[in-house]
Amino acid sequence: MFDWNDLKAFLAVARSGSTLAASKALRVNQTTVARRVESLEASLGLKLFERGQTGSRLTEAGRDLLVEAERVEQASLAFSSRAASHQRGLEGSLRITCTEIVGNSMLTPALAEFHQLHPEIQIDVILSDRMLDIEAGEADLAVRTGEAMPVSDLLSRKLIDYDFALYCSRDYARRKGVPASLDALGAHDLIGGEGSTGDLPGMAWMFQQAGGKPPVVRSNTMTSLMHAVTAGIGIAPLPSIVADANLDLVRCTGLIAEVQAHSWIIMRREGRDLPRIRAFVDFLVPYVQRDAKARLGNNRRLRQQAGDNDEGPVDLSSPA
């Protein structure tokens, strides 16, 4: 059986063409390189190089074995890399949960860049409008959105703030117009929510301004609510960072002053001591904040190109 250091010497001489150049690449003396190559040849019972005054040329056997030696080298590097990952605690998997709309618009775009930085960490994404129990271990991390972070023993870091406005589809606006005042809102078709969507910031505000008028349709996820508005069923509150990117939608209002939501990434207290969790959180927070700033700028340009006023036809956050 050959020594791995002998194989490294063989690769260095094959690549550089001489024991002198190989000794400089390996930072050992030339005699050591020559001795290791001779040791490898002896253990294999093969001549690997033709030596001459101009250097060392691979024999036929040497050329054939060079391919295999490079494969061994790659396997060794991969082995060392994975061992280093274990030492850093960055090996393993993470389970993160969030709603479908947050996952598709915020989380998924970040994963490609994170994977390039930490390919040894596997991310399992669980998209659900049902809040998984982080304390019970149903997931390691969660992105939660609301007007206030519930008090708990969980740790949290703030991601971004969300502004809301009322939206309808262009088709709805052509058929029924948009509300010109708070009083006019009650004459329109409104889309409500159930479950977590029923608690959506702006939902209670909208129905309060409409005098308690019942909804024509209820949606129990943010994704279905977005589809319902886009389909022209009626008016609903939506986060502007997502809705303004959809040119099939128009604002019925300016940003609602009384309504703002926030997103946090949350974890169990013991999670902060796990390097892979800390690496993901430290990456995600600035990524999402940069991405949100870019999205807002892109949305504004899209609306201007479409000839829309991104402040809406009327600001319903104050009486007309």
Domain at 4-88, CATH from 3.20.20.70, 1.10.10.10, 3.60.20.10, 2.30.29.30: 1.10.10.10
**Domain 4-88 matches domain 160-260 at the CATH topology level:** no
DSSP 244: T
CATH of domain 160-260: 3.40.190.10
Q: Which CATH number fits the domain 93-103+122-158+262-297, given the four candidates 3.40.50.300, 3.40.190.10, 3.30.300.100, 1.10.10.10?
A: 3.40.190.10
Distance (Å, whole) CA 38 – CA 315: 85
Domain residue ranges of the chain, discontinuous segments joined by +? 4-88, 93-103+122-158+262-297, 160-260
- Residue predicted with more confidence, 92 or 107: 107
Nearest one of 88, 90, 94, 120 to 107, comparing CA atoms:
94
Residue 266: pLDDT over 70: yes
Tell me the pLDDT tens digit for each residue of 175-194: 999 998 878 999 999 999 88
Any idea which of 76-80, 147-151, 211-215 has the lowest mean pLDDT?
147-151
The single-letter DSSP state of residue 235 is B
Query: What percent of the chain has pLDDT above 70?
Result: 91
Segment among 70-84, 234-248, 259-273 with least mean pLDDT: 70-84
pLDDT for residue 320: 34
Q: In this predicted structure, what is the pLDDT of residue 140?
A: 92
Look at strands 121-127 and 92-98 and give their pairing.
Answer: parallel
Q: Which of 143-147, 206-210, 311-315 is the most confident on average? A: 206-210
For residue range 22-60, list pLDDT tens digits in order: 899 888 999 999 999 999 999 999 999 998 888 899 999
State what percent of residues in the chain have pLDDT above 90.
Answer: 43
- Give mean pLDDT, residues 281-309: 86
201-204: long-range contacts, CB 8 A cutoff, minimum separation 24? 201/146, 201/147, 201/162, 201/164, 201/237, 201/259, 201/260, 201/261, 202/164, 202/166, 202/237, 202/256, 202/259, 203/236, 203/237
The pLDDT value recorded for residue 39 is: 92
pTM comes to 0.65
Whole-number pLDDT of residue 190: 96
Is the pLDDT reported for residue 152 higher than 50? yes
**pLDDT, average across residues 146-167:** 84
pLDDT band at 300 (very low <50, low <70, confident <90, very high): confident
The token pair at 159 is 């991601």
Ranges 88-92, 221-225, 300-304, most confident? 221-225
Would you say residue 222 has pLDDT above 90? no
- pLDDT band at 1, cuts 50/70/90? low
